[in-house]
Chains A and B, each alone.
Chain A
Amino acid sequence: MRSFLVKAIPIVALAIFILVMLSDNYLKKPITENDDIPGSIEQVLDSVEEEDWENADKNCEILSSAWEKVANRVQFSAEKSEMDSIYQSIARLRGAIQAKDKTNAYIELHETYEHWRNIGG
């Protein structure tokens, strides 16, 4: 029993560590309805496409709160620079929507998606 524990405890500990370190791959994906990053990006894209800036602003806030939730989950395994880039992209997207700048809104949306894709990659 003792020798089993001596071997089992380190193995279980290492397995937990690996799970925590690789969890960003799974935890970045939507778990509830309000944390779907690709879905939210898609919604903002549609609004920008239609030049419905009021709706785009609303959807941008949904994207921002979705990212807050995902960020809390992936912070232990994701790199800080990638996470910071998403925060910056969302902030720039907010500005582009306020300025009703379709080009920049597109750029920021695609960049946000790329950074989200890179998490855990």
Chain B
Amino acid sequence: MNEGLVVLVRSIISFFTLLIFAKVLGKEQISQLTFFDYVLGITIGSIAASLTTDLSSRAWPHWIGLLCWAGLGYLMEWISMKWRYAAKYIEGEPTVIIMNGKILENTLKKMKYRVSDVLVLLRNKEIFDVSEVDFAIIEPNGQLSVLKKPENEPLTAKDMNIKKQKKGISTEIIYDGILFEENLRQLKKDKAWLMKELKKKGISQISEVFLATLNEEGTLYIDKYEDHIQKPLDMGDYKGPY
């Protein structure tokens, strides 16, 4: 028995099976996972690991385990999509822990949160004074959403009755010295216009440009390969291996 070869074949099986199952499950980003999603992910990963290296048992039962966990995860997702009543139990629901500036102690106790935990979460939101908070809600993924009291909200253009221009999203038009003509066309510009703009910055060839983006407003950002920076600013405060 060539153990290395067997592990290689089993690795390929578990890697691509995991990839396919993860695609089917279509999970949100890690930061948005609920506690159960997190545990589900760990268990599926652990089964995939034993499928790869546990040669003392056949690959098949491990694979069935993987299939069952992924299948049940998918089923739970499907149920919570179709049935809001069940979703409340499976996914959990947002819970208000500060209402009208008052901390709801009983709710905190039910959620098994200490006041110090809430203060940490508030500080993470750059709120150092609880009196600034009007509403605070613990989301099913454990994160805190905060609504500040109106007097503590930052001033907006709307408050000042100022009209601001829309900036829009910037689109890549040159990346790694390659021009994306389709993106340029979408922004109703052509290559001649781009070359003219590049010439203004002293660039004669597209291949000199590392990145160029253009927003709807028509603002062009250009980064050349040659940055003319002799020594980049060192942000480290302690000597390391590099």
Binding site for B on A (CB under 8 A): 10, 13-14, 17-18, 20-22, 24, 71, 75-81, 83-84, 120
Contacts and interface: CB of A to CB of B under 8 A. Distances in A.
B9 to A, nearest CB: 5
Contacts of A13: 16, 20
A16 B2 CA distance: 21
B58 A17 contact: no
Contacts of B58: 21, 24, 77-79, 120
B1 A75 contact: yes
A77 B1 contact: no
B1 A21 contact: no
Contacts, number: 48
A74 to B, nearest CB: 9
A71 B1 CA distance: 7
Nearest to A76: B9
B83 interface: no
A17 B13 contact: yes
B6 interface: yes
Interface in B58-79: 58-60, 63
A17 B60 CA distance: 9
Interface of B: 1-3, 5-6, 9-10, 13, 16-17, 20, 23, 55-60, 63
Contacts of A76: 6, 9-10, 59
A20 B20 contact: no
Nearest to A74: B1
B65 to A, nearest CB: 12
Given A75-B1, A80-B55, A83-B1, A20 B13 contact: yes
A10 B56 CA distance: 28
Contacts of B9: 20, 76
Contact of A80 (B1, B16, B63): B1
A10 to B, nearest CB: 4
Contact of A14 (B20, B56, B57): B20
A10 B24 CA distance: 10
The 3 A-B residue pairs whose C-beta atoms are closest, nearest first, are A80-B55, A10-B20, A21-B60
A10 B10 CA distance: 17
Contact of A17 (B1, B2, B17): B17
Contacts of A77: 58-60
A81 B55 CA distance: 8
Residue from B10, B57, B59, B60 whose CB has the most chain A CB atoms within 10 Å: B60
Nearest to B55: A80
Given A18-B63, A81-B56, 10 more contacts: A13-B16, A17-B13, A17-B17, A20-B9, A20-B59, A21-B63, A22-B60, A79-B58, A80-B6, A80-B55
